Chain A
Amino acid sequence: MAEREQIRRRDGRDDEQVAQSTPQTTGGEHGEKLKADLDELLDEIDEVLEDNAEEFVRNYIQKGGE
């Protein structure tokens, strides 16, 4: 449970803050790993995301179905 609590605090929005405060622990390394994974993923998203987001979203119109 303690380990999971650590993961929780290191994931998501509190990433930087927590990683900075406990950089020496194993949990800190794990937090760094999670952050590196997310950074890599976001690099890819930045690359592949439709260029004109506003137009892309505006033009996506469907008829109701079912």
Chain B
Amino acid sequence: MATPKILGIETEFGVAQVGSFGDPIVQSSLLVNAYAHASAGRIRWDFFDETPQRDARGATPLDAMPPMVESNLANTVLTNGARFYVDHAHPEYSSPECSSALEAVRYDVAGEWVLRRAMEAVRSYAPQAPELVVYKNNSDGKGNSYGCHENYLIARDLPFSDVVAACVPHFISRIIFCGAGKVGADFPDRHGQIPAFQLSQRAEFFEEIIGLETTVKRPIVNTRDEPHADPSKYRRLHVIAGDANLAEVATFLKLGTTALILAMVEDGHLDPTPLWPADPVHAFRAFSADPSLSAAVDLDRGGSMTALEMQWVLYEAAVAYADRFGLAVLGADGSGALTLERWGRALHALEVDPATLAHEVDWVAKRRLVEGLRDRHGLAAQDPRLEAVDLQYHDLRLEKSLAARCSLERLTLDADVRSAETAPPRTTRAYFRGMALTKFRDAVDSANWDSVVFDVGEEPLRRVPMMDPTKGTAAQTEALFDRCSSARELVAELEGEEHHGRA
């Protein structure tokens, strides 16, 4: 039986100041701190047990460049269970742990609202200063990329090589429905050519098949082994090969299909070996540079395949898997069935005519604007206005965002997103973290993914561990929060439970 697919998305946002250059670290800190002050005050992030340099393949290779540990400049935990902080030179929103793709979409969109509110908060503190603008994209078109990482809970005893075998074909081919689109390229291809339009913002930044790094020599499958959970039971698959999406359907499909494929791997239902490309890194770029979706790449076993053909094989396997195993591990809200339905529908539409997905898939929506503008004004392929369309598609200010003008299909309701900006998911440990902050903010010393540290007014500080992401849900702790009127009572009850062996 597959592990419940607890999942979430971390997004690093681009940041720029209108009409001037500034220090992006200062700008990012301003955004995070202004939001924290405007909402409810700041709770420290607890760095205990952060080990981003641990490698899923075993020992850390000597030639691996360990990722930098994030700065402690501006670092907050939100009442919805998310982490909002400065990572390198970007504001980053890490969504709380969710138990379904639909829920994770809601919390991803809530992240956009957080950044929008952060921009407004900065503006109200410093109305005379040049406006700070946030972009939900992954590349500046000049060789710099910043990530949108997905996380999925998987079983520790699953051989990592099985995960790699399934994920490589999926990650390089899923961009046909979850690529965010890109005008031109950051780098010429191996023939010195710049493609006019790419499916993915990120594909050309990948240089390895598998590895530990995230900022240099980026690997298609990242091996960071930092479970933020009981390491004897779980892994957290840290996916760095995706784009940040504005289209909710694209975000949903990215999460739903990947979770489903991981469940198939856990249940031994998928044999992905026929899909393994002869050169996966080249295949990723070749697929990205081909909006006609006709490019076929050589396979390791001989023959060749298009991205769409790879996706059809994975989809057909998923349909058979669902028949046999059901889709309960993808959440209790119907996300599993909806994933299958929308996945099949998207592949069919891509086969018949990708342009019909202009309201569901970012690269299609963006390409329609780019080609429409080009044709209307007779622009050359290198005209900066086309790149401007690309960039401004991702502007999070509603009055400027081009994505917001594309009538993208919504899977969320505004009322639910508004609630998700402040209230945690009810179905994972994020509920405990979020409720602790909501109800006992003054008594929370710090928090991180797998614990909350309380200051109950007497020594020592009390750390409540949350080593299982599926525990600490509303079903398990809502009554506890209801009957405790102080953090001291809450901690006493929890310690009592532990004493009696019930935790």
CA distance in complex: A59, B140 (Å): 10
Cα A65 to Cα B405 in complex, Å, equals 28
**A45 contacts which of B67, B146, B389 (Cβ < 8 Å)?**
B389
A57 to B384, CA, bound (A): 7
The reply to whether A65 and B355 contact each other, CB–CB distance below 8 Å, is: no
Q: Which of A9-66 contact B (CB under 8 A)?
A: 11-13, 38, 41-42, 44-46, 48-50, 53-54, 56-66
Residues on A with C-beta less than 8 A from B352 are 1, 4-5, 8
Cβ of B392 and Cβ of A50 under 8 Å apart?
A: yes
Which residues, 377 to 405 on B, are CB-close (under 8 Å) to A? 383-385, 387-389, 391-392, 399-400, 402, 405
Nearest Cβ on chain A to B463's Cβ, whole angstroms: 29
Chain A interface, >50% SS class: helix
Report whether A60 and B391 are in contact in the complex, using a CB–CB cutoff of 8 Å: yes
Which of B114-122, B248-256, B272-280, B366-374 contacts the other chain? B366-374
Sort chain A's interface into a size bin.
20 to 34
Q: List residues of B (123-150) whose CB comes within 8 Å of A's CBs.
A: 135, 140-142, 144-147, 149
Q: How far apart are B408's CB and chain A's nearest CB, in angstroms?
A: 12
Choose one: A12, A46, A49; the contact of B392 (CB below 8 Å).
Answer: A49
Please choose the segment from B83-91, B157-165, B325-333 that sits at the chain A interface, where 4 or more of its residues have CB less than 8 A away.
B83-91
Residues of B within 8 A of A (CB): 12, 14-16, 21, 24, 67, 87-90, 92, 135, 140-142, 144-147, 149, 214-215, 218, 240, 352-353, 355-356, 368-369, 371-373, 375-376, 383-385, 387-389, 391-392, 399-400, 402, 405-406
Cβ contact within 8 Å between B385 and A64: no
Residue of B67, B149, B372 contacting most chain A CB atoms (<10 Å): B372
The contact of B144 among A11, A12, A46, A62, by CB within 8 Å, is: A62
Q: Which residues of A contact B145 (CB under 8 A)?
A: 64-66
**8 Å CB contact of B214 from A54, A56, A66:** A66
Structural contact, A65 and B147, CB atoms closer than 8 A: yes
In the assembled complex, which residues on chain B have CB atoms less than 8 Å from the CB atom of A5?
A: 352-353
- Contact between B144 and A57, CB atoms less than 8 A apart: no
The contact of B355 among A1, A8, A44, by CB within 8 Å, is A8
**What 3 pairs across the A-B complex have the smallest Cβ distances?**
A65-B146, A8-B353, A63-B89
Chain A: minimal CB distance from B39 (Å): 24
Asked if B24 and A4 make an inter-chain contact with CB atoms under 8 angstroms apart, the answer reads: no
- Smallest Cβ-Cβ distance to B145: which chain A residue: A64
Contacts A7-B355, A8-B353, A59-B16 known; list 18 others, CB within 8 Å.
Answer: A11-B355, A38-B372, A45-B369, A45-B373, A48-B392, A48-B402, A49-B402, A57-B384, A57-B391, A61-B142, A62-B15, A63-B24, A63-B89, A63-B90, A66-B67, A66-B87, A66-B146, A66-B240
| Chain A nearest CB, measured from B457 CB (Å) | 40
B12-A66 in contact (CB<8A): yes
- Residues of A within 8 Å of B399, CB to CB, are 48
Known contacts A48-B400, A56-B391; A62/B240 CB under 8 A = no
CB pair B405 A45 closer than 8 Å: yes
Contacting B371 at CB < 8 Å: which of A13, A50, A66? A13
The chain A residue with its CB closest to the CB of B375 is: A13
Contact residue among A7, A13, A38, A45 (Cβ-Cβ distance under 8 Å from B356): A7
Residues from chain B with Cβ under 8 Å of A64 in the complex: 88, 144-146, 215
Please name all residues of chain B whose beta carbon is closer than 8 Å to the beta carbon of A58 when the two chains form the complex.
384
The answer to whether A62 touches B405 (Cβ under 8 A) is no
